[in-house]
Amino acid sequence: MENMKRMLESCWRVCIPHFDTEFVHDALVKLVTLEKDWIPTAEGTSLYIRPFIIATDRALGVHAAQNYIFAIILSPVGAYYAHGFDPVSLYVEEHYKRACKGGTGHHKVAVNYAASILASEEANRKGYDQTLWLDASENKYMEEVGSMNIFFVINGEVVTPELGGSILPGITRRSTIELLKSRGYTVIERKVSVDEVIQGSLDGSLTEIFGTGTAAVVSPVGSFGYKDTKYTVGDGKLGKVTKYVYDELTGIQTGKKPDEFGWVEQLV
């Protein structure tokens, strides 16, 4: 339902009419029930559920459309970490921007991803796995990764960029904050500058970086690049907090650990 609420808010931002969340929820449950034989059972695998809306007006023009298709695609997906928890490398992008305050970055709309592709290709060519975006106005604060929110462990505290209007409010981000706070961790939502993170990497106060998102759940970050320099995060390996969040969230998702937060809904 949290995803559904975010989809509604995203629709509002691009003038797509509201939909009935109860109806879509029922449709989704029916679809997954019908297709349940496609749900993979091996460790770490899942059935990815992707609802989407596209405009289908038979006309050209820059204005709100009248006709839409709402569809849900299901796709069995393999284990994200089939070969173990391999830390990824991120390139801190200083030229291209994916989102600005007042734009659409806070919403899940396709234009954000279109704006990100060239930078991703260039980051890959430089040898990095994904792009880490900086804010569009001052070009110095960390925002998020291609399809993940980002967390830093600095001096033992868990820090994540505050949602300032240009960052997607990730559901996994929210769950991570709630989970860690409930387990006694200090979690702070604030601005995090690239200078602070570089300094932390150099003086050892930055011990972990991890990304959070539906697909990856939690992804350890072993290094990051900025301009022409590559920096290591901690010892470059999977960190304690990262592993803890992964184990807890997947434990709750799979029913191996109790869901004290009321996050899980059993569909079939």
Q: Which residues are near ligand PLP by CB under 6 A?
A: 144, 147-149, 168, 170-173, 212-214
CA 161, CA 181: separation in Å to the nearest integer? 16
In angstroms, give the least distance from the CB of 217 to ligand PLP: 9
Pick between residue 89 and residue 106 the one whose CB is nearest to ligand PLP.
Answer: 106
Query: Which lies closer to ligand PLP via its Cβ, residue 97 or residue 173?
Result: 173
Task: Report the distance separating Cα 265 and Cα 4, nearest Å.
Answer: 14
E strands, the chain, are 46-55, 68-77, 88-93, 130-134, 142-145, 149-154, 157-161, 187-190, 206-213, 217-226, 229-232
| Minimum distance, C-beta of residue 88 to ligand PLP, in the bound complex (Å) | 14
Q: Can you tell me the distance from the alpha carbon of 241 to that of 218, in angstroms, rounded to the nearest whole number?
A: 10
Whole-number minimum distance, CB 183 to ligand PLP, in Å?
19
Could you tell me if 218 and 210 are in contact, meaning their C-beta atoms sit under 8 angstroms apart? Answer: yes
Residue of minimal CB distance from ligand PLP? 170
Beta carbon nearer to ligand PLP, 5 or 30: 5
Nearer to ligand PLP, 216 or 233 (CB): 216
Task: Tell the smallest beta-carbon distance from residue 151 to ligand PLP (Å).
Answer: 12
- Which residues, 6+ apart, have CB-to-CB distance to 155 below 8 Å? 205
Smallest gap, in angstroms, from Cβ of residue 242 to ligand PLP? 15
Using the minimum distance from each CB to ligand PLP, give the nearer residue, 30 or 89: 89
